A and B are shown apart, each in its own frame.
Chain A
Amino acid sequence: MIKKDLELLVSLQDIDLMAEEVGEMEKLGFSVSGYGELKKAREELAASISKPLVFRYERLRAKLKRAIVPVKNDICLGCFLRQPTSIGVKGREDEEIFTCENCGRMLYWLD
């Protein structure tokens, strides 16, 4: 079960990523008949996350396209800047939301 705010936010972005490519999916021959349902699921998910956080997400998304980016081997995959190893320890707990000091995106640790 997904409960933590950061995880919910990642799920929200995953739906947004999906919605961006609905046209391409349809061209490839995939069914996208549930687009309305997906949008509904997106709104329900957004409503379950704290409002200021969703606001922050939307603002970053408007400015930088991707609001949350993966961190791998301590590298922000949004701008490729190395993150201090010390924040990675806490970052991996998915409790606190850290942002990249260089690009401003929220960080999600993969490893």
Chain B
Amino acid sequence: MHRTELAKFFKENLFIANLKARRKDAAIAELLDLFVAEKYIRNRDIVLEMLHQRETLGSTGIGKGVAIPHGRTTAASEVLIAFGKTETGIEFDAIDDKPVHLFFMVIAPPNDEGNVYLPILGSLVTILNEKSNRDRLLKVENYADFIALVKGE
């Protein structure tokens, strides 16, 4: 997926420059609460349960300080991505056991128009594999800077 296309799935109200959470569960909840507060999700508990089950399948901490909690849920109707970061790393059972600083939460409906869900995840993984992108992300302070990076500007 092209990065300008990917950028369309982010929203300013789903962006946190400084997460308050210090633990894995709290980080997941804090990001999910953005979707709830903006009324993208009515039933928080169902989506929280899905995200926990996803961590049962395997930690979404993909290493190098990055986690991408994600999943499809019957309780959502569009694909949306929240971003959060924290200077204080959070233990996330990541595959390299390193604390996580960058979080991308991807929520998708059971069937999505154009099947963008998997390409979105693929695109995120590719972007986050680049050290220069991770370094820049750790420094973003506002949404404008963030989305410019996502777009590859």
A interface with B by C-beta (< 8 Å): 1-2, 7, 10-11, 13-15, 17-18, 21-22, 24-25, 28-35, 37-38, 41, 66, 68-70, 72, 77, 94, 108-111
> How far apart are the CA atoms of A10 and B73 in the complex, in Å?
8
B interface with A by C-beta (< 8 Å): 39, 42-43, 45-46, 49-50, 53-54, 56-60, 62, 68, 71-77, 95, 109-111, 118, 121-122, 125
**Best-buried of A13, A31, A77 by chain B (most CB within 10 Å):** A31
Contact (Cβ within 8 A) A22 B49: no
Contact (Cβ within 8 A) B58 A70: no
> How far apart are the CA atoms of A29 and B121 in the complex, in Å?
10
* A-chain residues with CB within 8 Å of residue B121 when the two chains form the complex: 25, 28
> How far apart are the CA atoms of A108 and B43 in the complex, in Å?
10
* A-chain residues with CB within 8 Å of residue B57 when the two chains form the complex: 18, 22, 25, 31-32, 34-35, 37-38
> Quick one: given A2-B45, A7-B46, A111-B42, are A17 and B58 in contact (CB under 8 Å)?
no
* A-chain residues with CB within 8 Å of residue B111 when the two chains form the complex: 66, 77
Q: Which of B50, B72, B95 contacts A11 (CB 8 A)?
A: B50
Q: Which residue of B lies closest to A31 (CB)?
A: B58
* A-chain residues with CB within 8 Å of residue B72 when the two chains form the complex: 14, 17-18, 21
> Quick one: given A17-B72, A34-B56, are A2 and B77 in contact (CB under 8 Å)?
no
Contact (Cβ within 8 A) B58 A10: no
Contact (Cβ within 8 A) A68 B56: no
The 10 closest A-B pairs by CB, nearest first: A31-B58, A14-B50, A17-B72, A10-B74, A38-B57, A72-B77, A32-B58, A34-B57, A14-B73, A33-B58
Contact (Cβ within 8 A) A34 B74: no
20 residue pairs of the A-B complex, CB under 8 angstroms, read A14-B72, A18-B50, A18-B54, A25-B57, A28-B122, A28-B125, A29-B62, A29-B125, A31-B60, A32-B57, A33-B58, A34-B56, A34-B57, A37-B57, A38-B57, A66-B110, A70-B74, A72-B77, A108-B75, A111-B39
**Best-buried of B39, B45, B50, B58 by chain A (most CB within 10 Å):** B58
Closest CB-CB distance, A80 to chain B, in whole Å? Answer: 12
Closest CB-CB distance, B98 to chain A, in whole Å? Answer: 14
Q: Which of B50, B58, B71, B74 contacts A69 (CB 8 A)?
A: B74
Contact (Cβ within 8 A) B110 A69: yes
> Quick one: given A29-B125, A32-B58, are A70 and B109 in contact (CB under 8 Å)?
yes
